[in-house]
Amino acid sequence: MKDTIKRIIKYIGKYRFLLLLTMFISLVTVAGQLIIPRLQGNAIDKIIEAGNVDFGGIFKIIVIILACVVAVAVLQWVMNAINNKITYSIVHDIRKDAFEKLQHLPVKYADSHPTGDVVSAMISDVDQFADGLLMGFTQFFSGVMTILGTLVFMLLINWRIALVVVLMTPLSFLVASFVAKRTYKMFHLQSITRGEQTSFIDEMIGNQKVVQAYSREKASMETFDEINERYRNCSLKAIFFSSLTNPSTRLINNVVYAIVTLVGAFSVISNPLAFTVGKLSSLLSYATQYAKPFNEISGVITELQNSIACAGRILDIIEEKPMDESMTDEVSVEDNGGDVDFDSVEFAYDPAKPLIKDFTLKVQAGQKVAIVGPTGCGKTTVINLLIRFYDVDSGSISLEGKDIRSVTRHSLRKNYGMVLQETWLRYGTIRDNLIIGKPDATEEEIIAAAKASHAHSFIKKLPNGYDTIIGEDGGSLSQGQKQLLCITRVMLCLPPLLILDEATSSIDTRTEVKIQEAFARMMEGRTSFIVAHRLSTIQSADIILVMKDGNIIEHGNHEELLALGGFYKQLYESR
């Protein structure tokens, strides 16, 4: 919690001028509010006795009180506006830093953290933090100023009674502190459970077809009910304990008020000239105002417990270790492809379970390399290493003679074009999705690429053609149509190196034959890596790597591997 507060203070420090300004305005508004009870007491003392009332003096006091009320109202509006500015500027900065950090985190982070949990931290937790921070700025400073101000006025009126109030004050702090320590852990658990719930809902909505196809609705509902029940329980506990603060401090403050009333009443009776009814009235008002901030601050502390717990989750994302981007060297590959060398590469997602072992391969510029093998043998992992989604544990991968770890990721990846089995399309028009890799593409280039991928015919049938807006992840488009758009995207870029990972898995056989012809033309003179389960699509490859358990067990062209009569022949004959 202390570390989280320190990190929050760093963000607040950027707006210290506005913070000082709002503190000054808070001081002025509190002074305006505190002078009113004293003026009211003076007005009461001008009612000397029946038939002897100083109406002129009372009228002047009323005018001054009205002026104070108006001035305080205006200043409070200004203070609230500044507090809103500070709060939402900090929230803006935190969200910006968090999203920027996500752009620089390794793929390993995305693979190991549920998407819904990250989204919950970015949206819900930051909103909760904003609510607590705004309450803190709005009430905390004013509350502290009010406590100090009322204490000064009470000391000026009657220091003995003021001393009684001060001696009772620590009880409020002790109660608030006792509850706050237990509340923080519960709000932290509530925040974590909320993220788990958001992640599960996101997962179920995104895969609703699969859930219904396997009749998992009841099982999904049971899992949701279990998470929802835990969320309800931890929320109730957090709110229950936090709700104890206000009534506990209110009870103590009411006891203080009763003591002040009794002591003050006896003081008026015993010495009415030194301690008037007007002063007693002012003192009681100050005792109330002195007690009120403790109730407000206790509520603020409770809300801050929640907001700090929420802030901790988003700040943890911001402080995640980013990818190493210290390299400045760049690599550029000509249109005729590039040489790629794997030298004794070893890699494991889990150190206890080695996957790629002593992987060595030399690929010459323009060669077409196919990677085949059973599921889980490391085919896609090789692609992840090639494009530096993950770094090798030992050994090296070189492009054009340069270790890819020594060059910037941007310069490395701009040489590759990728079509994966899992498609990705964002909300926007068809055209917006096609030009992601080449924003300056002309209309003629876009149409030519779409025709080459055989996507043009179905695009023209859409309501607005290339300007048709599609939803998140392609909206209502079929999986095959989405894959065609991703293929078009690569054909529009025509990068010197190509990576095709099951690029035609969702396309019908007739269209696949035509696309393979287009791929063949596109891959001419380009270094290409193809991952495929259907061996018919890679028979023309210059090199076929047969992988099993992270090792290359066979390599050669199609005819050589069939003649070898090994594992590849078994795969080919079992298709």
pLDDT greater than 90 at residue 187: no
**Regarding beta strands 52-53 and 47-49, do their DSSP bridges make them parallel or antiparallel, or are they unpaired?**
antiparallel
Return the pLDDT at 309. Answer: 78
pLDDT greater than 90 at residue 572: no
Residue 168 CA: distances (Å) to CA of 67, 174, 259, 347, 394: 34, 11, 10, 66, 67
Question: Packing angle between helix 141-157 and helix 277-318, nearest 10 degrees?
Answer: 160
pLDDT greater than 80 at residue 251: no
The mean predicted confidence, pLDDT, of the chain is 81
The one-letter code for the residue type at 374 is P
Neighbours of 496 (CB within 10 A): 21
pLDDT greater than 90 at residue 4: no
Query: Among 541, 536, 544, 454, which Cα is nearest to 491's?
Result: 454
**Regarding beta strands 428-429 and 469-470, do their DSSP bridges make them parallel or antiparallel, or are they unpaired?**
antiparallel
Residue for token pair 């002897």: 52
pLDDT per residue as tens digits for the range 426-445: 788 899 888 888 888 899 99
pLDDT greater than 80 at residue 291: no
**Regarding beta strands 497-501 and 416-420, do their DSSP bridges make them parallel or antiparallel, or are they unpaired?**
parallel
3-state secondary structure 201-258: HHHHHHCHHHHHHCCCHHHHHHHHHHHHHHHHHHHHHHHHHHHCHHHHHHHHHHHHHH
- Stretch among 49-53, 145-149, 323-327, 521-525 having the lowest mean pLDDT: 49-53
Q: What is the mean pLDDT of residues 15-22?
A: 88
For 290-408, list the strands marked E by DSSP. Answer: 340-347, 356-363, 368-372, 394-399, 402-403
Query: Among 420, 417, 419, 429, which Cα is nearest to 474's?
Result: 429
Q: Phi/psi of residue 493, each to 5°?
A: -80, -40
Radius of gyration for the alpha carbons in the chain, expressed in angstroms and rounded: 36
What is the C-alpha end-to-end distance of the chain, expressed in Å? Answer: 59
pLDDT greater than 70 at residue 13: yes
Q: What is the mean pLDDT of residues 267-291?
A: 75
Return the pLDDT at 1. Answer: 65
- Stretch among 16-30, 239-253, 338-352, 465-479 having the lowest mean pLDDT: 239-253
Q: How open is the CA angle 405-495-425, to the nearest 5 degrees?
A: 95
Distance of alpha carbon 450 from alpha carbon 459, whole angstroms: 9
pLDDT greater than 80 at residue 83: yes
Distance of alpha carbon 387 from alpha carbon 332, whole angstroms: 14
Q: What is the mean pLDDT of residues 321-339?
A: 75
Residue 13 CA: distances (Å) to CA of 10, 180, 393: 5, 25, 41
Residue for token pair 């015919």: 457
pLDDT greater than 90 at residue 74: yes
Helix (H) or strand (E) holding 415, with range, is none
Q: What is the mean pLDDT of residues 110-128?
A: 79
Distance of alpha carbon 420 from alpha carbon 424, whole angstroms: 9
Distance of alpha carbon 388 from alpha carbon 385, whole angstroms: 5
Cβ atoms 136, 306 nearer than 8 A: no
Q: Which two tokens stand for residue 224?
A: 């949701």
Return the pLDDT at 487. Answer: 83
Beta-bridged to residue 559, according to DSSP, are none
CA dihedral 115, 118, 122, 126 (to 10 degrees): 140
Return the pLDDT at 49. Answer: 60
- pLDDT above 70 covers what percent of the chain? 91
Return the pLDDT at 70. Answer: 92
For 237-391, list the strands marked E by DSSP. Answer: 340-347, 356-363, 368-372
Beta-bridged to residue 353, according to DSSP, are 350
Return the pLDDT at 177. Answer: 65
Of residues 361 and 515, the one with the higher pLDDT is 361
Return the pLDDT at 273. Answer: 62
Q: What is the mean pLDDT of residues 96-122?
A: 81
pLDDT greater than 70 at residue 3: yes
Beta-bridged to residue 544, according to DSSP, are 370, 556
Return the pLDDT at 184. Answer: 66
Return the pLDDT at 71. Answer: 92
Most confident of 50-54, 252-256, 389-393: 389-393
Per-residue DSSP letter, 569: H
Distance of alpha carbon 108 from alpha carbon 147, whole angstroms: 51
- pLDDT above 90 covers what percent of the chain? 3
The one-letter code for the residue type at 426 is R
Distance of alpha carbon 166 from alpha carbon 189, whole angstroms: 36
Residue 328 CA: distances (Å) to CA of 139, 409, 514, 540: 50, 10, 42, 38
Q: Which residues have CB under 8 Å from 234's CB, separation 6+?
A: 186, 189, 190, 193
Q: Which band of pLDDT confidence, cut at 50, 70 and 90, is reported for residue 453?
A: confident
Beta-bridged to residue 531, according to DSSP, are 371, 501
Query: Among 505, 560, 563, which Cα is nearest to 534's?
Result: 505
Distance of CA 501 to the CA centre of its chain: 30
Question: Packing angle between helix 126-135 and helix 277-318, nearest 10 degrees?
Answer: 160
Cβ atoms 358, 346 nearer than 8 A: yes
pTM: 0.67
Q: Which two tokens stand for residue 45?
A: 């003392």
pLDDT per residue as tens digits for the range 300-309: 776 777 778 7
Distance of alpha carbon 145 from alpha carbon 30, whole angstroms: 7
Beta-bridged to residue 551, according to DSSP, are 548
Cβ atoms 416, 338 nearer than 8 A: no
pLDDT greater than 80 at residue 328: no
Distance of alpha carbon 506 from alpha carbon 533, whole angstroms: 12
pLDDT greater than 80 at residue 332: no
Q: What is the mean pLDDT of residues 253-275?
A: 75
Query: Strand order of the sheet with strand 402-403?
Result: 356-363, 340-347, 394-399, 402-403
Q: Which band of pLDDT confidence, cut at 50, 70 and 90, is reported for residue 51?
A: low
Q: What is the mean pLDDT of residues 357-364?
A: 85
